[in-house]
Amino acid sequence: MSSLRILPLLCLFLLYSSFCWAALMNSTVDDTSPDSRGAKIRFFPPDAWNFGSGCKNSPCWVQLDTNQLYQGTWHESIFSAGERVNGHANQVLNVTLGFSGTALYVYCVLARTTTRPAGNSDMTFYIDGQFVGALQKPAPGTSGYDYDVPVYVNTTLSHGFHTFVLQNGHPGNPNSLVILDRIVYSYDNESSTTTSSDPVNTSSAGSSQNSSSTNIAVIVGPAVAIPLAAILLGFIYYMRRRRRQRSFIPETAEVSLVTPYMLSQSSSGNTTPSPSPSPGNSSRSKLAHNPLAQASPLPTPLIPPIPPPTYSETFAGPQTSHCHHEC
């Protein structure tokens, strides 16, 4: 494929990439506060979840490094089948988020310990009431925590509003722990703002920041793509026109060569025309278009021969003059 055919495809690709880049954005929802579009994480039952370091429901066994958390906060809950650890024995605990987007990323902290706290993980994930995945992982039995773990990722959501649910535990199963840090979703900045059954007023600072980032993305994308596309199209037009001019040669521009006739002097003094060596097939085709080349050669001039002088065959000696005194 020639370069002239590749350039239009490249141009379309750059335009498509620019507009896609301008349209897709990410929004992070912290466990304690909504994002600038009004999306907020909700916990059920509310009294079964502890808020970060401000633990109110004893025992508060989870102690994390806030420097490794988004905005330094987290929410935790322990599912217990038989013990009334959090006041809700054998009851599943849920995290819910309503959002408008096409991708979702859920980040948690996983405990390595088996006691205080019991770090077993038993999570089930639902989107719009449909089961979409699960994470069941026993704790390795060592000390410490694993931060910033993406426990659930979905990048193939249809465009529109979705409801995400994280369920902690199953009735009759062993104890399990969930430590939620944040949830991130991707959305089209031309779509409407996320709505929720329990709307939350967004701060003016958050709204200004989101509006500014959206406007910059919408302006910068076309501003870069359109001039670049114009330059590429102009270059393509110039190259094609130049290529056509080089390939076009009119028939009248062909120069027909005339085969000259050389005059040679014969030994007898006669001048006769002597044609040049016969041309090839291509030369004959060119001479066929030349009226001068088709003219008949000049006629050979007729010069009568001059006879040589005659002499007697024998020499009889001096002849006697018949004249006397008159000669």
Q: What pLDDT, in 10s, does the model give residues 224-247?
A: 667 777 787 777 877 777 777 776
d(CA 26, CA 99): 12
Domains and CATH numbers, the chain: 25-202 (2.60.120.260)
Task: Compute, in degrees rounded to 10, the torsion defined by CA atoms 139, 143, 144, 150.
Answer: -20
Distance (Å, rounded) from C-alpha 113 to C-alpha 199? 38
Q: Which residues contact 271 (CB under 8 A, 6 or more apart)?
A: 263, 264, 265, 301
* pLDDT for position 241: 76
The whole-number pLDDT of residue 277 equals 52
**Backbone phi, psi, residue 111, to 5°:** -85, 140
Residue 58's pLDDT is what? 59
Between 62 and 267, the more confident residue is 62
CB 130 within 8 A of CB 187: no
| pTM of the shown model | 0.56
DSSP strand E in the chain: where?
A: 24-30, 41-44, 50-51, 75-79, 93-100, 103-111, 121-127, 130-137, 145-154, 161-168, 176-188, 261-265, 271-275
User: Which is more confidently placed, 75 or 307?
Assistant: 75
